[in-house]
Each structure stands twice: as structure tokens, then as C-alpha cells.
Structure 1
């Protein structure tokens, strides 16, 4: 099974019971400022969120500039359309718009006269069967891992993402999987979280994502591990912005390390 651990290059934010994350690499030198769009449509969720910011130079330590005057809309392949409301700090929210498996959603954002757009198809829902803990001897130390178990849907290419929270704080890593070698089987892959100790409470959010979003994070991991100057992963949004749009399903589990 292909399993990738990558380090976020920017901030992560708690989004209700799920989250979206900024994972945009920027050039080390002064660059033209670009729009960054990060958004998700969650299965069955009554609150959908999008954040819009702008890039800044590598040596700037302030929070990225936010965009609060964009027009953000979404429509599915059946014609169900809605408009997000700006709630400040770059966030746009939409209520009473539950995501549905199998539908393709198109997000459009008009920012300062420029239109950005991207589509994502929501995969079938797969539950998190169980969340386990395992201990791995490593020299004189012992590594602790949480082990999410889930069944893979047979005959269909599936892609997964995990968000991990240790004692309520998001771990600064992203874990993704695919089912290239586990099609139709129970999948058990340990997630190693730095500095886990007995007594910690760990929550794992489990997402089924589509291929373009998986490709986005895969490219980010390759760029992050390369000795060459890192490049931005290819976005599934058009118009020249950075970021991604993901229609995804969600499940969650919590375990205490003991």
C-alpha cells in the first residue's frame, strides 16, 4: 500500500469535526502575489467552508493576507447551487448544503475580478472500522502508533486521507493512502505521530478523497522531499490560483494511549 507522510509548510486549522489545511509552497525569493483557495464539501455536513488568502514572501512572518470580498459559489452536477457567505478572516461558510456521495461539485470564486474554478467528485462513504494502538521497538526506544482500520471498496480505485489530533491539537503532518495493493481488503496502516506518550488522547479523522486531491498531496510530498527548489503542487483549481477543492466523505475515531 502506498503510504505517504508529509509535513505541512503552513498553518492548519480545526474545521468543526474536520479540517482543511494550507499546504502551499512559495518561492524563497520575491514572487508575484497569488490567490490561495482551500475548500471542502463534506458528506452530510450542514456547514461547508472555504478559505481564501494570498501568498506572501518567504521571509514574511505575519499571517497571510486574507480575502473577505470574494464571491464564492458551488453547484453540483444536478444543478443544486448555493452561495457562500463571508464571515471574516478569509473564511466563507455555507449552511444547509449537505454533500452527497457520487455527485460532482464545482466551486467558483471571483476574487478582484478574476474567476477561479475547480471540480471534485465525492467518493463513496467508507467507515472507520476501528482505531487501535500499537507499540514498535526502535533501538532502545519504543515508537507508538495509532492504527486506523478500514475496509476498502473492491474494484474501485480508492484514495484516503487522515488528519490526526493529539490532545486536541492538530499534528503537523498529513497522511494519505491509496488501495493499489489492498483493493477490497481490510486496510491496517500505522500512523506514527511524533512524541506520543501513554495517556495521550488521539483523534483520527478519516476522509475518502478523489484522485486529483490525492495527486495534489502526493506531488507536495515529492516536492518537499526533493533536493531541488520546491515547486507548488498542481492544483485542481483553474485560473492561476494555488490550493485545492475537495468533495469528501468523513468518519472519525478517538483512542487513549495506554
Structure 2
């Protein structure tokens, strides 16, 4: 049983107990559609938005960058940030660090079609402790990065995790909410969906505190990829039938070394 199978069983067990929770875009679409990958964070003053068009699955890459769009982000205090095209569909702003509790609106004019989305950046929920946990599941041992924290009471909180193994690219790992543990001490267990963590691995976890619509997007992606059903595109929070998502979120990194 690999980590993906364990996470499926783990998710099912949470559901049963509740009756007594570079991110790659998975594009399952025959007809070409505009794809907007807009994950803004406070990790840096450099922000990147990629605009592309979905292409067939037999092509070497599943999106093709679009040049010539007009892209901006405006906050609720009337500050506007214009993004400039660089290459391969990437639009960049090099002096924009978003702030918690501000509301941001994305406006992208792509080939005479307007795409918009709004996101309010949440505050970061501090982690109290972190580490590596080894669990024996059905006679096999699995490693998980663990982050423990006090979930704020009477506030809806949503979390997205991405993970890098041994210097590899960051990939989506898990989406979590406080639906069943509001106000409690919580531990999240994070592993790669496809590659089991091993002794000697260097692991970095990125933890985003996101808004509800961003959580819904990645939770739908997560459920699709942990099920046996044919995957479908998660519902975007961007207008005009675009694929992808717009998120503005605080983020922190947590490095781990799995001991020999």
C-alpha cells in the first residue's frame, strides 16, 4: 500500500468518525480553454501569474503560454499592481507583497475576454511544533511531516500544503479545513501523493493559510485524485469559464530531514 492509498483510507476514516478535512494543475479538457494559475503569497515581493491555454494530453506539455494579455491586481484600498509579461505565459510584478485581511481582485484581459476573481488574504495560523512521524499501516512503515497548532475557535480556517523532496519541485500534497476540529489542538500529517518518503530524504513543506474558495478548488482536486473515478477539472474561482484559480495567502516553509 503506497501513500496515496493510505491517504484515501485516512480520509475515509475521518469521514466515518465525523458522523459520530509549484502546484501543478491537472487539466482534463478536450476543448482548449484559458488557464490562469495565480498563487500570490507573502513569501516574496515578486509575484507571478501564468496565463495559458489548455492543449491535448498527447502534447509534450498540457498548457501553452499566452502572450499579450493585460493583467492587474487591485486591493480594497485602491492600490493597483500591473503585471508585465516576461516569457512562457508568465506575468510578473516585482514589488508587491500582499497583506493579511486585505481583499484583492484579479483582472485579466486575455484576447478580448475579461477574467476576474476576488480573494481576501487570511491571517497566518502559527505552528507550535513540527517534526517527522513514522506510522505502521497494515504492516508497512510510512513517514509523514507533522505540523501541530492551535486552531482558532469560531473562525473557519483552511490550509493547503505543498511538498518538495530532495530539492525537487514543490507539488500539491494536501488540503485541510477545521470543519471537524474548530478551536482544537490539531496535527496535520503531510506526505507526497505519489512518492513515499524514505530515510535520508530532505523534505520541505510549504503551508498556506487560504480562503474557502481556494480550499474548495484543491480539496476537489484532492478528492478526484484519491478516488478511482475519472478525474475532472476542479471548479475554478475565476469568471468566464476559465480553468485554474486565484489565491492570495500567507505561507511559511518547514524543512525536515528524515533520519537514517
Are 1:80 and 2:79 matched, yes or no? yes
Counterpart residue number, 1:52: 51
Look up the SS of the partner of 1:65 in the other structure.
Answer: strand
Residues 252 and 44 of structure 1, relative CA distance in 2, 3 Å threshold: closer
CA shift for structure 1 position 125: 1.6
Superposed counterparts of 1:151-166, under 5 Å: 151-166=150-165
Structure with greater strand share of residues: 1
Whether the 8 Å CA contact 1:45–1:99 is kept in 2: the answer is no
Taking the aligned partners of 1:49 and 1:33, their CA distance within structure 2 comes to 22
CA shift for structure 1 position 161: 0.6
Counterpart residue number, 2:206: 205
Taking the aligned partners of 2:103 and 2:7, their CA distance within structure 1 comes to 28
CA shift for structure 1 position 63: 5.2
Counterpart residue number, 1:14: none
Residues 100 and 152 of structure 1, relative CA distance in 2, 3 Å threshold: same
CA shift for structure 1 position 171: 5.8
Taking the aligned partners of 2:23 and 2:198, their CA distance within structure 1 comes to 25
Residues 161 and 79 of structure 1, relative CA distance in 2, 3 Å threshold: same
Whether the 8 Å CA contact 2:159–2:175 is kept in 1: the answer is yes
Taking the aligned partners of 2:154 and 2:87, their CA distance within structure 1 comes to 43
Counterpart residue number, 1:249: 250
Counterpart residue number, 2:68: 69
Taking the aligned partners of 1:222 and 1:62, their CA distance within structure 2 comes to 24
Q: Which runs of 5+ in 1 are unaligned?
A: 7-19
CA shift for structure 1 position 68: 2.2
1:22 to 15, 21, 24: 24
Residues 253 and 222 of structure 1, relative CA distance in 2, 3 Å threshold: closer
What RMSD over aligned residues (CA atoms) do the two structures have, in Å?
A: 2.1
Structure with greater helix share of residues: 2
Superposed counterparts of 1:106-145, under 5 Å: 106-145=105-144
CA shift for structure 1 position 110: 0.9
Whether the 8 Å CA contact 2:105–2:117 is kept in 1: the answer is yes
Look up the SS of the partner of 1:107 in the other structure.
Answer: strand
Counterpart residue number, 2:222: 221
Taking the aligned partners of 1:100 and 1:243, their CA distance within structure 2 comes to 22
Taking the aligned partners of 2:215 and 2:78, their CA distance within structure 1 comes to 26
CA shift for structure 1 position 21: 2.3
- 1:165-189 CA distances to partner (integer Å, 9 max, x unpaired)? 1111136543010011221222112
